[in-house]
């Protein structure tokens, strides 16, 4: 049975290794914060962090993800306290909210590699995530705010729980 490391926990998933990671996360692991948008890697709603890198979980198989540390929106923090999540609240980013798990994880990955991104850096890093509500301006502001607040490296949560980060 394939085994995944999701949000610092080891989870056995009873599905074929060829199954897209997205649906294994949603239907087998029970984490529905990762969203289905297009199924072809075009919209970014299903973005998760795989060893810290933003990946489209609809384009990865369970087999691809075995052995990697997967972080979904639920694993970013237990209580919404991650600097990027806080910035999202402070800037009131979400409208319908459906794309925001993916947006937040893409932003986390951007800031992990670039502590002070410019607008152009943000545009480049975030252009794989579609938002139909047009929250792009608010997302830009929130990323700058999170950068100013000093997001900790990688995708570590605020508490030092030891596992998982790069």
CA 120 to each of CA 61, 93, 103, 140, 144: distance values in angstroms, whole numbers, following the listed order: 31, 19, 16, 10, 12
CB atoms within 10 A of CB 99: 25
Count residues near another protein (CB under 8 A): 61
Report the candidate in 140, 134, 82, 74 with the shortest Cα–Cα distance to residue 108.
82
Q: Which of residues 71-90 bind another protein (CB under 8 A)?
A: 72-74, 76-77, 79-80, 85-86, 88-89
Considering beta carbons, is residue 38 or 161 the nearer one to another protein?
A: 38
Give least dist CB 108 to another protein, A. Answer: 12
**Cβ neighbours of residue 36 under 8 Å, at least 6 residues apart?**
22, 23, 26, 45, 46, 58
Q: How far apart are CA 130 and CA 62, in angstroms?
A: 24
Q: Which of residues 3-22 bind another protein (CB under 8 A)?
A: 15, 19-20
Give least dist CB 8 to another protein, A. Answer: 16
Considering beta carbons, is residue 3 or 92 the nearer one to another protein?
A: 92
Q: Which of residues 128-147 bind another protein (CB under 8 A)?
A: 128-140
Per CB under 8 A, 95 contacts another protein = yes
Among 9, 12, 123, 148, binds another protein (CB under 8 A): 123
């Amino acid at each position: 049975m394939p085994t995944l490391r999701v949000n610092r926990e080891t989870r056995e998933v009873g599905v074929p290794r060829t199954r897209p990671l997205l649906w294994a996360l949603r239907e087998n692991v029970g984490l529905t914060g990762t969203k289905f948008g297009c199924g072809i890697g075009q919209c970014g709603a299903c973005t998760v962090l795989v060893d810290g890198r933003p990946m489209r979980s609809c384009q990865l198989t369970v087999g691809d993800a075995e052995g990697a540390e997967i972080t979904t929106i639920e694993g970013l923090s237990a209580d919404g306290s991650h600097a990027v999540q806080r910035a999202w609240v402070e800037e009131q980013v979400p409208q319908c909210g459906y794309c925001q798990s993916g947006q937040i994880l893409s932003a986390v990955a951007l800031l992990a590699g670039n502590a002070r991104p410019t607008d152009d850096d943000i545009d480049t890093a975030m252009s794989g995530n579609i938002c139909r509500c047009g929250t792009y301006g608010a997302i830009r502001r929130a990323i700058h705010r999170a950068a100013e607040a000093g997001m900790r490296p990688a995708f570590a949560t605020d508490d030092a729980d030891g596992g998982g980060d790069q």
